[in-house]
Amino acid sequence: MPEPITPLSRQDQRSIFVWFLGILAFLYLMQATLTSEAADELIEDASNVTGFAMMTMLAAGTLWDRLHPPSEQDQETTPESGN
């Protein structure tokens, strides 16, 4: 019989959520900025869009924490608590 799949930790779930929304925002904004001269301006456009993607990731982390507050057990095992 196959072993049961263990669920991801809350921190892993949060990281996946944050990265997913950040990459989605980055790709969407890059698609919106592409023009016929995209080859020359691609690096410049990427640096402009990266800031917006990082802000999206920060907002996604805050949203995740509001929608899925940590349980008492999660708070006991966080690196900030020193355990």
Percentage of residues in the chain having pLDDT higher than 90: 8
* 53 and 26 Cβ atoms separated by less than 8 Å: yes
Q: Is the pLDDT of residue 81 over 50?
A: no
- Tell me the residue ranges of DSSP E strands in 1-83: none
Average pLDDT, the chain: 77
How far is Cα of residue 13 from the mean position of the Cα atoms in its chain?
Answer: 10
pLDDT in tens, 39-79: 556 667 677 778 888 888 889 889 888 988 877 766 655 55
DSSP 67: H
Cα–Cα distance between 34 and 40 in angstroms, integer?
Answer: 11
